[in-house]
Amino acid sequence: MLLDQRWRRRPVGLAGGDEAGAPLLAQLTYVERALAPTADLKHGEISELLGGEMAVLILADVPAVLGTTADRLAQWVENGGVLVRFAGPLLAQAAATPEPDPLLPVRLRGGGRNLGGAMSWTNPQGLAPFPEDGPFAGLSVPAEVTITAQVLAEPTLELGERTWARLADGTPLVTGAHKGKGWVILVHTSANAAWSNLPLSGLFVDMLKRLVELSAGLGSGPNAAGPLPPVRVLDGFGRLGDPGPAATALGGDPAAIRPGPRHPPGLYGEGGMVALNLAPSLGRPAALVPPSGVTQTSLSGHAAERDLRPGLLAAALALLAIDLLVALALRGLLGRRGAAAALALILVLPAPRPGEAADSFALEAGLETRLAYVRTGDAALDGKSAAGLRALSRVIGERSTASLGEPMGVDVENDPVLFFPLLYWPVGTAPKPLSPKAADKLNAYMRAGGLIVIDTGSQAEAGGSGDEAPLRALTQGLAVPPLVPLTEEHVLTRSFYLLKEMPGRFEGGAVWVADAQGSTNDGVSPVVVGGNDWAGAWAADHNGRPMFATVPGGERQRELAYRVGINLVMYALTGNYKADQVHLPAIMERLGR
Instruction: Write out pLDDT tens, residues 501-532.
Output: 999 999 988 899 998 765 566 778 999 999 99
User: How confident is the model over 318-338, as a mean pLDDT?
Assistant: 77
Q: Could you tell me if 183 and 214 lie in one domain?
A: yes
CATH code of 470's domain: 3.40.50.12140
Q: Could you tell me if 74 and 216 lie in one domain?
A: yes
Q: Could you tell me if 441 and 398 lie in one domain?
A: yes
User: How confident is the model over 277-304, as a mean pLDDT?
Assistant: 80
Q: pLDDT tens, 338-363?
A: 666 666 655 555 555 555 556 677 77
CA dist 536 and 434 (Å) reads 24
- Residue 314 falls within a domain, yes or no? no
How confident is the model at residue 214, as a pLDDT? Answer: 86
- Bridge partners, 41 (sequence order): 12
Domain boundary among 184, 202, 220: 220
Q: Could you tell me if 460 and 558 lie in one domain?
A: yes
Name the more confident of 343 and 25: 25
Q: Could you tell me if 566 and 432 lie in one domain?
A: yes
Q: How many domains does the chain have?
A: 4
- Residue 290 falls within a domain, yes or no? no
- Of the chain, the end-to-end C-alpha distance in Å amounts to 64
How confident is the model at residue 122, as a pLDDT? Answer: 64
Q: Is the predicted pLDDT of residue 219 greater than 70, yes or no?
A: no
Q: What are all long-range contacts of 173-181, with beta carbons under 8 Å and residues at least 24 apart? A: 173/127, 173/147, 174/136, 174/207, 175/105, 175/106, 176/105, 176/135, 177/105, 177/106, 179/74, 179/77, 179/78, 180/77, 180/78, 180/79, 180/80, 181/78, 181/79, 181/80, 181/220
Q: pLDDT tens, 181-201?
A: 899 999 999 999 989 999 999
- Residue 384 falls within a domain, yes or no? yes
How confident is the model at residue 463, as a pLDDT? Answer: 47
How confident is the model at residue 518, as a pLDDT? Answer: 55
Q: Could you tell me if 84 and 194 lie in one domain?
A: yes
Q: Is the predicted pLDDT of residue 375 greater than 60, yes or no?
A: yes
Q: pLDDT tens, 131-146?
A: 988 899 989 999 999 9
Domain that holds residue 273: 227-280
- Residue 262 falls within a domain, yes or no? yes
Q: Is the predicted pLDDT of residue 454 greater than 90, yes or no?
A: yes
Q: Could you tell me if 568 and 424 lie in one domain?
A: yes
Q: Could you tell me if 204 and 236 lie in one domain?
A: no
- Residue 508 falls within a domain, yes or no? yes
CA dist 407 and 410 (Å) reads 10
Q: Could you tell me if 20 and 130 lie in one domain?
A: yes
Q: Could you tell me if 171 and 261 lie in one domain?
A: no
Name the more confident of 169 and 428: 169
- Residue 431 falls within a domain, yes or no? yes
How confident is the model at residue 147, as a pLDDT? Answer: 92
- Residue 285 falls within a domain, yes or no? no
CATH code of 98's domain: 3.40.50.880
- Residue 589 falls within a domain, yes or no? no
Least confident of 152-156, 218-222, 343-347: 218-222
Q: pLDDT tens, 38-70?
A: 888 999 899 899 888 888 999 998 888 888 889
Work out the pLDDT band at 305, boundaries 50, 70, 90.
Answer: confident
Domain boundary among 202, 220, 238: 220
User: How confident is the model over 290-316, as a mean pLDDT?
Assistant: 80
**Percent residues over pLDDT 90 in the chain:** 38
Q: Could you tell me if 459 and 324 lie in one domain?
A: no
Work out the pLDDT band at 322, boundaries 50, 70, 90.
Answer: confident
Q: Is the predicted pLDDT of residue 460 greater than 50, yes or no?
A: yes
Name the more confident of 332 and 557: 557
Q: Could you tell me if 272 and 338 lie in one domain?
A: no
pTM for the full predicted model: 0.44
Domain boundary among 168, 201, 220: 220
